[in-house]
């Protein structure tokens, strides 16, 4: 029993880390541009499929690096051509725009790579269990968590110590003043959007190794990211990270006792947060509302 609980907590942490990676990308875009990116799951799928296509040429490791960058470039183009036009308009329009985009991406993926799911293999070094007693901790799972941790630490370092990162954080709090200080807000938002999409693409590559590929896979991963943001609080990336881990662990632990409710528990947590602390665990009061 205790091994089962341990298994589910570990599993929950891994899944939670994954939610957090996706949610932080969403959160970055939401905080600076006020856009809820419905197509985030779509970009994740693009990242996964690109790595699938690139693996025969670049190998697993090459694709792991290149596919997210390519996804980010696609994201950058989409921002320049479409998303940019709805900044500052009613949030309704950015929601609808990215909703339409999600349709196009899903259908496009199906057109290019086929509607059937595709299996993805990971290097043998990563796929074998690390110990027979804790059989569930495969190398790949640990690798996923490590990659997520590296990316998130890297992102936080960039946000804290680089000029653009500081500008992004300042823009989250008061974009008008940042703009008045002579900073090119358009370029900043572009960069920020691309970074968010990069994270989605990376999440897609990682997810492909664990779950395989399927044109709809983004859909099931989008809702937990929303919940992670709401639980953690809009406006705080640390909150989003915490939210992601929390709902992952909660879902994992619930799976031990009441498996069919493991999806529902996230929503229960969200309801409790909204009831007790509407701004979220670490959220700023009055952000985007």
Partner 1 sequence: MIKGRTSRLLVLAAIWAALIAAPYWMPLFGGYTALGSRVLVLALGAMSVNFLLGFTGTLSFGHAAWFGLGAYGAGFCLKWFALSSPLGLLAGTLLGGIAGTLLGALLVRRRGVYFAMVTIAFGQVFYYIAFQWSSVTGGDDGLRGFSRQPLHLGFTMIDLLNNADAFYYFVLVCFAAAVGLMGFILRSPFGRTMIAIRENERRARFLGIPVELHIWIAFSLSCFFMAFAGALYAELNNFADPRVLHYALSGDFVIMAVMGGMRTFWGPLLGAIVFVVLQDYLSSVTVNWMSFIGILIVLIVLFFPRGILGLIRQRSAA
The answer to whether residue 108 forms part of the interface with partner 1 (CB under 8 A) is yes
Cβ nearer to partner 1, comparing 137 with 269: 269
Indicate which single residue of 102, 195, 250, 251 sits in contact with partner 1 (rule: CB under 8 A): 102
Q: What is the C-alpha to C-alpha distance for residues 64 and 47, in angstroms, rounded to an integer?
A: 9
Least Å from the CB of residue 124 to partner 1: 35
The answer to whether residue 289 forms part of the interface with partner 1 (CB under 8 A) is yes
The answer to whether residue 284 forms part of the interface with partner 1 (CB under 8 A) is no
The answer to whether residue 44 forms part of the interface with partner 1 (CB under 8 A) is no
Indicate which single residue of 4, 65, 77, 96 sits in contact with partner 1 (rule: CB under 8 A): 96
Least Å from the CB of residue 151 to partner 1: 24
Indicate which single residue of 13, 73, 74, 95 sits in contact with partner 1 (rule: CB under 8 A): 95
The answer to whether residue 89 forms part of the interface with partner 1 (CB under 8 A) is yes
Give the burial string for 169-201 (b: 16+ CB within 10 Å, else e): ebbbeebeebeeeebebeebbbbbbbbbbbbbb
Cβ nearer to partner 1, comparing 118 with 287: 287
Using CB under 8 A as the binding criterion, the count of chain residues that bind partner 1 stands at: 43
The answer to whether residue 114 forms part of the interface with partner 1 (CB under 8 A) is no
The answer to whether residue 74 forms part of the interface with partner 1 (CB under 8 A) is no
The answer to whether residue 258 forms part of the interface with partner 1 (CB under 8 A) is no
Cβ nearer to partner 1, comparing 123 with 220: 220
Binding site for partner 1 (CB under 8 A): 30, 34, 36, 38, 82, 85-86, 89-93, 95-97, 99-104, 106-108, 111, 223, 226-227, 229-230, 234, 260, 263-264, 267, 270-271, 274-275, 278, 287-289
């Amino acid at each position: 029993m205790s091994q089962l609980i341990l298994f589910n907590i570990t599993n929950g942490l891994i899944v939670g880390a994954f939610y957090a990676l996706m949610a932080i990308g969403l959160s970055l875009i939401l905080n600076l541009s006020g856009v809820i990116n419905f197509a985030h799951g779509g970009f994740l799928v693009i990242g996964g499929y690109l790595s699938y296509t690139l693996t025969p040429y670049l190998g697993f490791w090459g694709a792991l690096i290149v596919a997210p960058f390519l996804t980010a470039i696609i994201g950058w183009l989409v921002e320049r051509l479409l998303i940019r036009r709805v900044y500052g308009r009613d949030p309704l329009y950015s929601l609808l725009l990215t909703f339409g985009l999600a349709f196009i991406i899903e259908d496009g993926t199906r057109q290019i790579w086929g509607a059937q799911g595709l299996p993805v293999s990971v290097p043998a070094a990563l796929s074998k269990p690390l110990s027979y007693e804790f059989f569930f901790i495969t190398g790949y799972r640990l690798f996923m968590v490590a990659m997520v941790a590296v990316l998130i630490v890297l992102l936080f370092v960039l946000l804290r110590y680089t000029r653009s990162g500081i500008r992004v954080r300042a823009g989250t709090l008061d974009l008008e003043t940042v703009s008045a200080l002579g900073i090119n807000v358009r370029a900043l938002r572009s960069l920020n959007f691309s970074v968010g999409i990069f994270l989605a693409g990376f999440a897609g590559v990682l997810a492909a190794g664990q779950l395989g590929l399927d044109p709809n896979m983004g859909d099931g991963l989008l809702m937990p990211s929303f919940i992670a943001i709401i639980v953690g609080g809009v406006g705080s990336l640390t909150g989003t990270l915490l939210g992601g881990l929390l709902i992952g662990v909660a879902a994992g632990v619930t799976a031990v006792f009441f498996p069919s409710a493991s999806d529902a528990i996230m929503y229960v947590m969200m309801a409790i947060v909204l009831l007790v602390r509407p701004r979220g665990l670490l959220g700023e009061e009055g952000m985007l509302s």
